[in-house]
């Protein structure tokens, strides 16, 4: 009978590489009941931020006399031995464990089962699969929310409820994602796939002539390759690609953002035949801004090279620029007419629908409309003109530095966190990238969704 280790972790923040565990709870389960348990506060050896202290109730004073992770590591190995790790968003908890073990040179490996993914599969159609919401669905009371022992016990109850409705052994499918010989492409060895890293980076699929057929990225390279090979990501075109794989190469980046940047650049440069590469080889249209006689700021899409004007943003196609403006109109209730998408002589159609405040007919003052337009146009700008994005590196001792200069992505480099150096020295090994407005758009969107460290630099850096 399989045994499971249901766990939850609280940490100093959201980055498994930079942040540290402050509490852990593990309940060993034989498939029917809890048979062993381990709960402990952990001294993180870094300060607990006020936000985390407020969220969890765990303070620096509370962990001051608690054991450090290395002091409880043996107990964690023992209680999870021969177990499947079970957690809600299992990759998050596992990454913290793995990185804590890495700090003293131990490679921690366990099979995993994510109750979040299993819940989505077994209970489709719910509006949310967060731990409180899915527990509410099963009428499970969550006591001591945001404490490891409380959330782990709730996950135990959730796991038991999911087991009860899992008539087709879906959990086994999620756990046992090992490759079968019949899944393998004819020219690829099983060990070549099984030895791939469970790290963030980009990967390359090579054909018989060692040409790159496909470039991809993933926060977990090995798992993504499994998905390709076992068919979870496979269309008819990709099925043909998988059969032609002779070699898989990879590059660990550490940073998910950098992996996305490199994937985009390499697809455009190499144009692998199985990637949906951008067909355009340049940027030909721009979104421009001017002010009319009444003082209203207006937008228009025009070919690049408009005399005496610089575009707010560049696009490969006219349709892309117009789509971008339509998104701004919808989000900020801008005027179709003033944004160059309607040639009405009076009020625009959006005003009739009450989705425009009436700038097109003077109902809204230029000051009010222009202020809202300026807010909308911030989507075309980085928070600073010159700054560095600091992200995770390829090891715990390293950071990735992504450099934005004069409002454009210019390149990246890796930096040893132990070294003290000026920003000019840190960026002296910068790997340069050409101007790419679509990549800048992606980076700006990524920063809005992810909390990364940004450091503004002096212009001359």
pLDDT at 175: 80
Phi-psi category of residue 25: left, alpha or beta, with phi > 0 → left and psi -120 to 50 → alpha: beta
Share of the chain above pLDDT 90, in %: 71
Q: Is the dihedral of CA 69, 75, 78, 84 positive or negative?
A: negative
Residue 253, pLDDT > 90, answer yes
* First-last CA distance in the chain: 61
Integer Cα distance of 398 and 416 in angstroms: 5
Integer Cα distance of 361 and 106 in angstroms: 69
Integer Cα distance of 272 and 274 in angstroms: 6
Give tens-digit pLDDT for 179-198: 566 667 888 888 888 889 98
Residue 405, pLDDT > 60, answer yes
Q: Which residue has the tokens 């490679």?
A: 107
pLDDT at 17: 79
Residue 297, pLDDT > 80, answer yes
Helix residue spans in 25-147 (DSSP H): 50-56, 60-63, 69-80, 90-102, 115-122, 131-137
Rounded mean pLDDT of 411-423?
91
Integer Cα distance of 60 and 72 in angstroms: 19
Chain centroid to CA 72 = 31
Residue 170, pLDDT > 90, answer no
* Mean pLDDT value across the chain: 91
- Indicate whether this model's pTM tops 0.85: no
Give the CA distances from residue 285 to residues 116, 290, 316, 437, in Å, rounded to whole numbers and listed in that order.
43, 16, 6, 11
Looking at residue 427, the DSSP 8-state letter turns out to be G
Closest C-alpha among 88, 443, 94, 413 to residue 261 = 443
Integer Cα distance of 199 and 224 in angstroms: 11
pLDDT at 443: 96
Confidence of residue 59 (pLDDT cuts 50, 70, 90): very high
Q: Report whether 77 contacts 5 (CB < 8 A).
A: no
Rounded mean pLDDT of 172-184?
68
Rounded mean pLDDT of 90-110?
90
pLDDT at 188: 86
pLDDT at 189: 84
Rounded mean pLDDT of 339-366?
91
Rounded mean pLDDT of 437-447?
93
pLDDT at 85: 96
pLDDT at 417: 87
Rounded mean pLDDT of 326-347?
92
Residue 252, pLDDT > 90, answer yes
pLDDT at 176: 65
Give tens-digit pLDDT for 306-325: 888 999 999 989 999 999 99
Rounded mean pLDDT of 339-345?
89
pLDDT at 119: 96
Looking at residue 449, the DSSP 8-state letter turns out to be H
Residue 178, pLDDT > 70, answer no
Rounded mean pLDDT of 78-90?
95
Integer Cα distance of 26 and 6 in angstroms: 6
Residue 177, pLDDT > 80, answer no
Counting every residue written for the chain, the total comes to 461
Residue 60, pLDDT > 70, answer yes
Confidence of residue 235 (pLDDT cuts 50, 70, 90): low
Q: Report whether 315 contacts 287 (CB < 8 A).
A: yes
Q: Report whether 157 contacts 140 (CB < 8 A).
A: yes
Integer Cα distance of 299 and 290 in angstroms: 7
pLDDT at 232: 57
Between β-strands 431-432 and 408-416, what pairing exists: parallel, antiparallel or unpaired?
Answer: antiparallel
CATH numbers and ranges of domains, the chain: 3-175 (3.30.420.10), 181-270 (3.40.1440.10), 285-380 (no CATH), 387-456 (no CATH)
Q: Is 415 helix (H, G, I), strand (E, B) or coil?
A: strand
Rounded mean pLDDT of 76-91?
95
Integer Cα distance of 334 and 358 in angstroms: 9
Residue 264's φ and ψ, nearest 5 degrees, are: -60, -45
DSSP bridge pairs for 291: 297
pLDDT at 307: 87
Residue 279, pLDDT > 80, answer no
pLDDT at 277: 62
Residue 376, pLDDT > 90, answer yes
Share of the chain above pLDDT 70, in %: 95
Rounded mean pLDDT of 15-34?
93
């Amino acid at each position: 009978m399989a045994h499971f280790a249901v766990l939850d972790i609280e940490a100093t923040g959201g980055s498994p590489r930079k942040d540290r565990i402050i509490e852990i709870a593990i309940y060993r389960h034989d498939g029917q009941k809890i048979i062993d348990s381990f709960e402990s506060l952990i001294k993180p050896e870094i300060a607990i931020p006020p936000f985390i202290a407020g969220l969890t109730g765990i303070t620096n004073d509370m962990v001051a006399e608690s054991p450090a992770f290395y002091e409880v590591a043996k107990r964690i190995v023992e209680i999870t031995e021969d177990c499947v790790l079970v957690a809600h968003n299992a990759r998050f908890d596992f990454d913290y464990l793995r990185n804590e073990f890495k700090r003293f040179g131990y490679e921690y490996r366990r099979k995993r089962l994510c109750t979040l993914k299993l819940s989505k599969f077994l209970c489709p159609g719910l509006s949310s699969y967060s731990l409180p919401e899915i527990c509410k669905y099963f009428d499970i009371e969550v006591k001591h929310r945001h404490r490891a022992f409380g959330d782990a016990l709730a996950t135990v109850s959730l796991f038991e409820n999911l087991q009860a409705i899992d008539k087709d052994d879906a959990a086994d499918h999620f756990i046992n994602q090992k490759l079968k010989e019949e899944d393998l492409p004819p020219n690829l060895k099983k060990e070549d796939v099984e030895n791939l890293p469970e790290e963030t980076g980009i990967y390359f699929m090579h054909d018989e002539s060692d040409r790159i057929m496909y470039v991809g990225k993933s926060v977990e390279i090995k798992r993504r390759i499994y998905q390709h090979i076992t068919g979870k990501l496979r269309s008819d075109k990709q099925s043909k690609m998988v059969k032609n794989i002779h070699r898989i190469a990879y590059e660990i980046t550490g940073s998910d953002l950098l992996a996305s940047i490199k994937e985009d650049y390499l697809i455009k440069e190499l144009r692998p035949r199985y990637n949906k590469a951008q067909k355009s080889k340049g940027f030909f249209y721009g979104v421009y801004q001017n002010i009319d006689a009444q003082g209203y700021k207006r937008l228009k899409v025009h070919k690049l090279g408009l005399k005496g004007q610089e575009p707010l943003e560049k696009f490969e196609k006219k349709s892309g620029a117009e789509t971008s403006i339509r998104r701004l109109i919808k989000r900020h209730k801008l005027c179709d007419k003033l944004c160059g998408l309607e040639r009405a002589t009076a009020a625009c159609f959006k005003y009739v629908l009450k989705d425009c405040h009436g700038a097109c007919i003077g109902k809204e003052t230029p000051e009010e409309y222009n202020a809202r337009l300026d807010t909308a146009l911030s989507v075309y700008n980085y928070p600073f003109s010159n700054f560095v994005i600091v992200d995770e590196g390829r090891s715990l001792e390293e950071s990735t530095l992504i450099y934005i200069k004069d409002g454009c992505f210019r390149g990246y480099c890796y930096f040893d966190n132990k070294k003290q150096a000026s920003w000019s020295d840190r960026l002296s090994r910068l790997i340069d990238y050409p101007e790419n407005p679509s990549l800048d758009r992606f980076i700006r969107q990524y920063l809005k969704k992810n909390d990364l460290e940004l450091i503004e630099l002096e212009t001359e850096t």
